Amino acid sequence: ERQWQVMCSLVHNNPSPYGCWMLVKDQDFLLMSSSPEQLLTQNGERLSTRPIKGTMSRGLTEEEDVDLIRQMVASQKETAEHLMLVDLERNDLGQICRPGTVQWSMWRVESYPNVHHLVSEVVGGM
């Protein structure tokens, strides 16, 4: 089917760790996605989310990549938007987690085939 070819193209051109294909023919419903962002994970009593905000294209060389990453990390706009999203995620987890357990950690740059992203982890206990 054409839809599956589109999904294969998406996975090929935008590889990411979190993807989805769901086809419900009798409901005429199709969902496909390809995302580097993990919205919510539960592992026992631990909830975590990995907000991504801050994106920079990949360079053609390793030196260009390093320069582009430095530009992204130094950008007040990119870091402010990232920290705003982290704060929203902390607030969201704070609504359902035990008081005092929500923490922000692991601010880093993750590189994918086409882009670099600023990524954090926010965790809390149930």
State how far the Cα of 5 lies from the Cα of 66, in Å rounded to an integer.
Answer: 34
Comparing CA positions, the residue from 89, 77, 98, 94 lying closest to residue 121 is 89
Please compute Rg for the chain using Cα positions: 17
Q: Is 37 a catalytic residue?
A: yes
Residue from 53, 78, 89, 121 carrying the catalytic annotation:
53
80: part of which helix (H) or strand (E)?
A: helix 76-94
Query: Which residues does the annotation mark as catalytic?
Result: 37, 53
